[in-house]
Amino acid sequence: MTLEAVLAAIHIVAILTLVVFLSSEAALCRPEWMNAAVVRRLARLDLIYGIAAVVLLLSGVARVLWGAKGMGWYVSQPLFHLKMTLFVLAALMSIKPSIDFRRWAKALQAEGSLPPEDAVRRTRRWIMWQSHLIPVIAVIAVFWARGW
């Protein structure tokens, strides 16, 4: 029982951390706000976002393996598979912004250059798609937890 509570707590904290740092990326990644400090900050925010995603994934796997319901219950649930598919999709969507933020930080350090406005807009679009997908995953989790 204590293990289940600890794993659930870690999972929830990872979810909240992921949402906070993805929201921060969405707020800062705007052409009109782009400056050297924002480029560096976006790279740091994305690193924390990535760590939160890994903790979220690992705590979820731990819940499947060692949680009270057991692996058999999880893998028999269609909404579990939908939730995992959407999580993987969100993770794949995060790759482009992560690469962009690292590239922008390198260019800033090497040449002192900021990213072009169109690149910032494209990257922001990827972030916004992710940030709209995360609540869908949460809604699926709620329905799944209620026995759908």
Q: Give me the percent of the chain exceeding a pLDDT of 70.
A: 99
Q: Can you state the percent helix, strand and coil of the chain, rounding each to 5?
A: 85, 0, 15
For residue 8, the tally of other CB atoms under 10 A from its CB is 14
The region that residue 112 occupies, defined by phi over 0 for left and psi between -120 and 50 for alpha, beta otherwise, is left
Residue 26, helix vs strand vs coil: helix
**Confidence at 61, pLDDT banded by 50, 70, 90:** very high
Which element (helix H / strand E) includes 129?
helix 117-145
The whole-angstrom separation of Cα 87 and Cα 44 is 22
The whole-angstrom separation of Cα 49 and Cα 27 is 14
Amino acid at 50: G
Please write the tens of the pLDDT for every residue from 7-40: 999 999 999 999 999 999 999 999 999 999 999 9
Domain positions in the chain: 2-145
Chain-centre distance of CA 60, in angstroms?
A: 14
Q: What is the pTM of this model?
A: 0.91
**Whole-number average pLDDT of the chain:** 95
> Buried b / exposed e across 12-44, counting CB within 10 Å, b at 16+?
eebbebbbebbebbbebbeeeebeeebbebbbe
Please write the tens of the pLDDT for every residue from 98-118: 999 999 999 999 999 999 999
Q: Please report the pLDDT score of residue 69 as a whole number.
A: 85
For residue 105, the tally of other CB atoms under 10 A from its CB is 19
Lowest mean pLDDT among 64-78, 107-121, 130-144: 64-78
Lowest mean pLDDT among 19-28, 65-74, 121-130: 65-74
Q: Please report the pLDDT score of residue 145 as a whole number.
A: 80
Query: Taking a C-beta distance cutoff of 8 angstroms, is the pair 117, 31 a contact?
Result: yes
